[in-house]
Amino acid sequence: MASTPVVHDISVLLGPGTPEWPGDVAYTCGWTQRMESGRGYNLSHFAMSPHVGSHADAPLHVLPDGAASDAFPLEVFRGPAHLVELTAAMRDRAHPVEPTIEMADLAPLLPERVERLLLRTGRTTADGSFPGPWPALSPACIGALCERGLKLLGVDAPSIDPRERKSLDTHRALFSRGGYNLESLDLRGVPPGAYELVAYPLRLDGLDAAPVRAVLLGPG
């Protein structure tokens, strides 16, 4: 009998204090009505940037004519995925301006073909603070991965680009090759290896990103 898959919730918890990108709109919430005030039911509300917490960027984020959040191809966000933990040496090469990870660094950690790649950098908002510089893949590395079948790149860091890279070249390299991304995942405690990923973006119209509820299914 097949064992029941282990479900790893890799979504950052959204709530007051969930770190937003500096200058972006933070998560806020409140109550429209409360039962304690004599109403028949509780009714809550919230507001935030779609880039707070775990989310997928749409091509519109960096491409003026790119597809918006209502056009995500759902099949990209479910399927076999490979989780890689970057080595200490690669993490230590994080630089506030330039990306640091090339295909020669990453290739020994990967299978020959990978459609969905998740990178644990250790620089995550899941611990309640916005991290400092994190390692990121170069545009050339993205190109090489796409040649090997990459459709989706997920990271625990707030961005697939370096923190201070305003031109978002890694985003552009990925989107221009038909790929998509996931950012601000919570990969703490999930062992490297092969999984089934389910991370559907919310069906929101016309935005440059959408929140996701991301999970990994692994062997029981």
**Residue positions annotated with a catalytic role:** 61
Distance of CA 59 to the CA centre of its chain: 14
As a dihedral over the C-alpha atoms of residue 204, residue 208, residue 214, residue 217, rounded to 10 degrees, the angle is: 100
Determine the length of the chain: 220
Distance between CA 183 and CA 158 in Å, rounded? Answer: 6
**Comparing C-alpha atoms, which of 159, 146, 145 is closest to residue 55?**
159
Helices (H), the chain: 88-92, 103-106, 139-147, 169-176
Count the Cβ atoms, other than its own, within 10 Å of residue 138.
19
**Comparing C-alpha atoms, which of 199, 182, 175 is closest to residue 59?**
175
